[in-house]
């Protein structure tokens, strides 16, 4: 894969937005949602007296099953990571990945100076000629989770929440791509339905029905590209259409998806580092011993991989499945970025530690196999 070393020369101050749209901790959810919709933004810094208190985002709303519109911002906001105006975009991308944020405040001398969103990083890549040499298949996440047109919106919301994704490809009864449904579509529907309830003198906190079909809310046609495309095309589509994902198809069947997260990983892979960065999301566990054991398993496996390939970023997302008559079980999706490429794996098990070990073992075997192929090509 071509090296985009010059990315390190682009600084946060070069791409950040200095026009800050903010909210206050005492504002209500309804007010904040209205501002996000009007300004077409996903996150808002919470500022008081010029001081950054936290951030709120669409994701926080979509992950809550029941949330009255009278809820105040201070009950939802979280503390965001910060970057300096002189940090490179490779570091900014890394901070977003490790902390799972879609936008981060940029500071100068301790004061908030601007904000960088994933979209800003994507836009900054336009014009890099090397992107024509990077195949989509080398960056995309394969085997994307899809949803059918006839499925209800509640299933879509559950998938977004469980997998921590912003959009899902929609397929017709033949399995062909027919549209995409995203977080913003759901939030627009919530806002519209709740507004109608208020007009009908219903309670502002009344629940919104999610039993409508995905097909009635999806965006169509879906923005897509083919398996033989290059990343320059994907970056262009994302920028031109202001979208966070591009579906990769073969004969209109979804084969993969390139999201802002995938682009961030590509950018962050050029950040100089001495150790692998690890992100674990999706677990409902809060026991530090659980994470200690997981990091022990990961460290042991990374020590085996390092002599073969230099690991850089390891992203692990768990989904916990609860069934009334069955023991809790886990599915895990893994993505490992190394100095030469990206590797993916997923598995399912009733034991989360065994699932983790299995998915890491599969990654190691892929790396070994790819290394052997590389040696054969050089002979």
pLDDT at 197: 55
Determine, yes or no, domain membership for 330. Answer: yes
Give me the mean pLDDT over the 306-333 stretch. Answer: 82
Determine, yes or no, domain membership for 96. Answer: no
Determine, yes or no, domain membership for 163. Answer: no
- Hey, which of 51-65, 202-216, 266-280 has the most confident mean pLDDT? 266-280
- Hey, which of 102-106, 122-126, 331-335 has the most confident mean pLDDT? 122-126
Q: Which residues contact 243 (CB under 8 A, 6 or more apart)?
A: 167, 223, 237
Which residue range forms the structural domain that includes residue 335? Answer: 274-378
Residue 356 has pLDDT above 90, yes or no: yes
Instruction: Please give the share of the chain, as a percent, with pLDDT higher than 70.
Output: 90
| Mean pLDDT of the chain, nearest integer | 85
Determine, yes or no, domain membership for 151. Answer: no
pLDDT at 2: 47
More confident call, 64 vs 140? 140
Determine, yes or no, domain membership for 336. Answer: yes
Residue 254 has pLDDT above 90, yes or no: yes
* Residue 208 pLDDT grade (very low, low, confident, very high; cuts 50, 70, 90): low
Residue 326 has pLDDT above 50, yes or no: yes
* Residue 352 pLDDT grade (very low, low, confident, very high; cuts 50, 70, 90): very high
More confident call, 225 vs 58? 225
pLDDT at 205: 47
More confident call, 345 vs 211? 345
Determine, yes or no, domain membership for 173. Answer: no
- What domain count does the chain have? 1
* Cα 323 from chain centre: 27
Whether 246 contacts 263, CB under 8 Å:
no
* Residue 353 pLDDT grade (very low, low, confident, very high; cuts 50, 70, 90): very high
| Cβ-defined contacts of 81-87 (< 8 Å, 24+) | 82/52, 82/106, 82/107, 83/12, 83/107, 83/116, 84/12, 84/108, 85/11, 85/12, 85/13, 85/16, 85/113, 85/114, 86/11, 86/12, 86/13, 87/11, 87/12
Global pTM value:
0.73
Determine, yes or no, domain membership for 367. Answer: yes
Beginning with the edge strand found earlier in the chain, give each strand of the sheet holding 277-281 in spatial order: 277-281, 311-321, 329-338, 342-349
Residue 78 has pLDDT above 90, yes or no: no
Determine, yes or no, domain membership for 326. Answer: yes
Count other C-beta atoms under 10 Å from residue 21's C-beta: 14
189-203, 206-220, 280-294: segment of lowest average pLDDT: 189-203
* Residue 44 pLDDT grade (very low, low, confident, very high; cuts 50, 70, 90): confident
For residue 334, the domain's CATH number is: 3.30.160.100
Q: Which residues of 329-361 are buried (b: 16+ CB within 10 A; e: fewer)?
A: bbbbbbbbbbeebbbbbbbebeebeebbbbbbe
pLDDT at 63: 63
More confident call, 156 vs 226? 226
């Amino acid at each position: 894969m071509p090296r985009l070393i010059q990315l390190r020369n682009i600084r946060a101050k070069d791409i950040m937005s200095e026009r800050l749209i903010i909210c206050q901790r005492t504002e209500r959810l309804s007010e904040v949602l209205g501002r996000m919709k009007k300004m077409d933004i996903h996150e808002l810094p919470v500022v008081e007296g010029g001081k950054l208190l936290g951030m709120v985002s669409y994701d926080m709303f979509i992950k809550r099953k029941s949330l009255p519109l009278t809820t105040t911002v201070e009950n939802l906001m979280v503390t965001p990571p910060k970057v300096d105006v002189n940090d490179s975009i490779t570091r900014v991308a890394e901070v977003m990945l490790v902390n799972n944020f879609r936008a981060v405040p940029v500071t100068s001398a301790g004061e908030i100076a601007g904000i960088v969103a994933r979209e800003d990083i994507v836009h900054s890549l336009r014009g890099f000629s090397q992107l024509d040499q990077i195949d989509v298949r080398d960056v995309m996440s394969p085997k994307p989770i899809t949803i059918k047109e006839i499925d209800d919106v509640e299933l879509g919301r559950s998938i977004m929440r469980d997998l921590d994704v912003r959009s899902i490809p929609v397929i017709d009864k033949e399995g062909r791509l027919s549209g995409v449904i995203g977080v913003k579509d759901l939030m627009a529907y919530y806002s519209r339905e709740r507004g109608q309830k208020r007009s009908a003198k219903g309670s502002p906190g009344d629940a919104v029905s999610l039993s409508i079909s995905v097909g009635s809310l999806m965006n169509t046609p879906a923005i897509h590209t083919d398996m033989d495309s290059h990343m320059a095309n994907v970056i262009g589509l994302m920028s031109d259409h202001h979208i966070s994902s591009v579906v990769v198809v073969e004969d209109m069947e979804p084969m993969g998806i390139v999201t802002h997260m995938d682009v961030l990983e590509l950018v962050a892979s050029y950040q100089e580092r001495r150790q692998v960065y690890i992100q674990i999301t999706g677990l409902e566990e809060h026991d530090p011993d659980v994470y200690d054991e997981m990091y022990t398993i990961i460290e042991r496996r990374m020590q085996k991989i390092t002599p073969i390939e230099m690991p850089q970023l390891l992203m692990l997302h768990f989904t916990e499945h609860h069934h009334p008559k069955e023991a809790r079980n886990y599915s895990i999706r893994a993505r490992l970025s190394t100095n030469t490429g990206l590797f993916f794996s997923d598995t399912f098990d009733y034991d989360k530690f065994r699932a983790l070990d299995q998915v890491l073992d599969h990654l190691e075997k892929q790396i070994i196999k790819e290394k052997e192929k590389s040696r054969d090509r050089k002979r």
